[in-house]
Amino acid sequence: MRGVSPVADYELTSEVMLASWTKIETVTEDGRKVEAQVPIIVSASRSTDIPAFYADWFVKRLEKGYVKWLNPFNGVPLYVSFAKTRLIVFWTKNPRPMLEKTPGKDETPLDVVERLGLNYYFQFTLNDYDAENIEPNVPPVETRIGTFVELAKRIGASRHGNDRVVWRFDPLLLTDSLTPMVLLDRIERIGDRIVPHTPRLVFSFIDIQAYAKIARNLERAGIRAREFERDEMLEMAAGIARLVKGWGISAGTCGETDDLPGIEHNRCVDDRLMVKCFSDDEVLMKFIGAERVEPSLFDHAPVWEEPGKPKKDSGQRAACGCIQSKDIGEYNTCPHLCHYCYANTSNATAIANWKQHLARPDADNITGK
């Protein structure tokens, strides 16, 4: 054990190579013994914005060593232990709370993550839908640009810092006034400010017809959004490919089946990025299946090559390139209330769950249940 970290040192055995998470017995704060999953990679989170709204709760759970997660389909609790966690992938539209000290404490949440010896990187969604009020509770775009740069500089003091804040403009959607040209202009204005601090732009095209709740929420908000036609996708992709080439970064789509010229298929939970940024973590490298190359006379550490076959996350859509991780967020808990949200069924439910969390911020479950 390293200090007070819940991340235990342990023998490198074949168990880290299993396709599904192994389980251990852990003890809850009220003294009960429960079975818990022990993921190597934690996603925080596709389902809600943990950095924006639950940063203090999250690092408290890290220090306690486990979290209780509720199955969204049947409500059955599942316990997740951080005993073997080596990497956290943060997903957020506003990581500002991760950079600010909790009242009465000398550390920021990000300081705690680092003190516990955990690797991490950020998927930072930085859109510009301010004029349309499509993301009603995110800070203004200028504020978020400032936060993006500050976060990247904060991480940039460490190895591969600028590779660890990935920019997302996601999802792309169209209205009568939001055309591909307008979106490209907004992407360019943001990119001109942040590209020295990010390796990549990730985007997707909104799916409205496949999700009744998205169509319903957009209509309720009075937003006449629509999906992209094929020619509009190609126009958008060509414009993004031109921009990223000029900036010297790469671009990838998230969960899209179409092959688009100049655009890759992204892995948001990305073993390639892990090899580049965290190759000194042998446990993580062995888990993702990286190939070890013995160091030369001039190297001081082992060299790892990208896995030949990614450990794909079977719980995601077929077009998703992410490798296996355990998401600890829950649906209907994000107060951003973005009108295109895939994760909130209704604003009222999300706000009710947020208030329940505020009433019990020290609970082992994100909603306090």
In a domain, 296, yes or no: yes
pLDDT of residue 60: 97
Cα–Cα distance for residue pair 240/243, rounded to 1 Å:
5
DSSP classification of residue 140: P
In a domain, 75, yes or no: yes
pLDDT of residue 299: 65
pLDDT of residue 239: 98
pLDDT of residue 12: 36
In a domain, 1, yes or no: no
Please name every residue paired with 202 in a beta bridge, in sequence order, or none if there are none: 168, 252
Host domain of residue 338:
14-359
In a domain, 108, yes or no: yes
Kindly provide the b/e burial profile for residues 30-45, where b requires at least 16 CB atoms within 10 angstroms of the residue's own CB. eeeebebbbbbbbbbb
Cα–Cα distance for residue pair 55/293, rounded to 1 Å:
38
pLDDT values of the chain reduced to their tens digit, one per residue, 369 residues: 223 333 333 333 333 333 479 999 999 999 999 999 999 999 999 999 999 999 999 999 999 999 999 998 899 999 999 999 999 999 999 999 999 998 888 999 999 999 999 999 999 999 999 999 999 999 999 999 999 999 999 998 655 668 999 999 999 999 999 999 999 999 999 999 999 999 999 999 999 988 888 999 999 999 999 999 999 999 999 999 999 999 999 999 999 999 999 999 999 999 999 999 999 999 999 999 999 887 776 666 668 988 988 888 888 888 899 999 999 999 999 999 999 999 999 899 999 999 999 999 999 999 998
Q: How many structural domains comprise the chain?
A: 1
Q: Which residues contact 231 (CB under 8 A, 6 or more apart)?
A: none
Cα–Cα distance for residue pair 200/221, rounded to 1 Å:
32
Residue carrying the six token digits 């490198």 = 12
In a domain, 8, yes or no: no
In a domain, 366, yes or no: no
Q: Is the pTM of this model over 0.85?
A: yes
The SS3 call for residue 352 is helix
Cα–Cα distance for residue pair 356/361, rounded to 1 Å:
8
In a domain, 240, yes or no: yes
pLDDT of residue 161: 63
In a domain, 81, yes or no: yes
Residue 76, exposed/middle/buried by CB under 10 A (0-12, 13-18, 19+)?
A: exposed
DSSP structure string for 191-236: HHHHGGG-SEEEEEE---TT-HHHHHHHHHTT---BPPPHHHHHHH
Q: What are phi and psi of 18, to 5 degrees?
A: -65, 150
Helix orientation angle between 141-156 and 180-194, rounded to the nearest 10 degrees: 40
Q: Which residues contact 310 (CB under 8 A, 6 or more apart)?
A: 267, 271, 288, 289, 321, 323
